Every structure is written in structure tokens, then in C-alpha cells.
Amino acid sequence: ANILGIQASQHAFPELKHVAVFDTAFHQTMPSHTYRYAIPAEYYEKHGVRRYGFHGTSYRYVAQEAGRVLNRDSNRLALVIAHLGNGASISAVLNGKSQDTSLGLTPLEGLVMGTRSGDIDPSLFSFLSENFAMSVEQTTNMLNRQSGLLGLSGLSNDCRTLEAAAKEGHAGATLALEVFAYRLAKYIGAMTVACGRLDALV
């Protein structure tokens, strides 16, 4: 679908320069010890299996804006930036460059999100297969579309709905918000380690 859009744009505007901006590009400054998975090296070397991260265009903009708001040079700041929404992630940005980020090879890794589980034990796949005859595709779909805030609460993936329900005593909504906040706090600490210091949490 993306390639079709590019081709249509090139056809409609052949005189214009066309540029692709990849959401993963900002994270290409991460050191290897943050992007490599602890799996046999051949999967990285032959197939590029590694952590790539996402939301890069947002992080680049927010890092620059943080410098402007703080009246500091963004290329001299240690920032932990949380991109919180239905798709959520967090990054360590040191001197304008990504040092680590919570999203990985796919957008499933990391924080609890609206309908995505975030970090899980990878053996969940075999456990669900052996005990509930779930296929890889079924488990992947469940982790991407039926989990996160929605799965924990059994109610919604929208924090506004969950906050209102929690005030009314809805146990699932309360748990979902607590898990989300706790996992986010853990990642804030981890990203501070990646920066080596912390000038601002954005």
C-alpha cells in the first residue's frame, strides 16, 4: 500500500523531488548493545533480526521542541521521552540521538498499549499452542488487537473511558491503569540508565 502511494505521487507530481522518511530512521544511532537480541548471531547477520524502534519522526521533533521549551541546546540534553497513546513507546535521547527505545523488531515490544500487550514471555506462544491449540497467527493477533489496556480491563483501550470507570470502582479499569503506569515507570528508569543522566522527562 505504501509503495502504491509513492508511485501514484510520482506519477501525479513528476517534477517534484520525492523523499521517504522512515519511522525507524531516528533510532539508527542506537548502539549495538541496545538493538541486538540475545539470540544466535546469524539471525542478525543474515536476516537483520534486531530492534528497530518506531515513532522516530515524533521523537526527533519532540527532542528539538524540548530544547526550545527548556531554552537549552537539544544536542546537549539527556532526555527520556514517552510517546503515550494507543500505540505507546519510550526512548532515551542523548545529545539529539536515540540511545534506546522500547519498540523492537515490531511495534509489539515494550510498553503496555491500547490493544497491544507490550513485553511478554516469548514462551507464551508455545504455552497457548499446547494448552489451547492456538496458532502463531491467533496468538499474534490476540497480542496485537485484544490485549493491553483492552485485554486487562475487559472494557476499553481508551484511557478516558478507563479513568471514568475506575472512579466508579471498575476493577478491570483500575488494574489496566495500574499496570500501564507501573510498566511505564519501570521503563523510565531503564531509559535513564541508557542516557547516563537525566535532564528532562518529556
CB-CB contact of 64 with 72 (8 Å): no
In tens, the pLDDT along 132-189 reads: 999 999 999 999 999 999 999 999 999 999 999 999 999 999 999 999 999 999 999 9
pLDDT of 113 reads: 98
119 is catalytic: no
Rounded CA-CA distance 86/122 in Å is 22
Could you tell me the residue range of the domain that residue 195 belongs to?
Answer: 1-201
Q: How many domains does the chain have?
A: 1
Rounded CA-CA distance 8/181 in Å is 43
Residue 58: how many CA atoms within 13 Å on its side-chain side? Answer: 15
Closest by Cα among 68, 50, 56 to 23: 56
Residue 23 class from Cβ within 10 Å (0-12 exposed, 13-18 middle, 19+ buried)? Answer: middle
The total number of residues written for the chain in this structure: 202
pLDDT of 2 reads: 87
| Amino acid at the residue 170 | H
CB-CB contact of 143 with 119 (8 Å): no
Other beta carbons within 10 Å of 194? 20
Output the pTM of the full model. Answer: 0.91
pLDDT of 144 reads: 98
Q: What is the pLDDT along the chain (202 residues), one digit of tens a residue?
A: 889 999 999 999 999 999 988 999 999 999 999 999 999 999 999 999 999 999 999 999 999 999 999 999 999 999 999 999 999 999 999 999 999 999 999 999 999 999 999 999 999 999 999 999 999 999 999 999 999 999 999 999 999 999 999 999 999 999 999 999 999 999 999 999 999 999 999 9
CATH classification at residue 47: 3.30.420.40
Q: Per the structure block, which three cell numbers stand in for 61?
A: 521533533
Q: Which one of 23, 119, 158, 199 is the catalytic residue?
A: 23
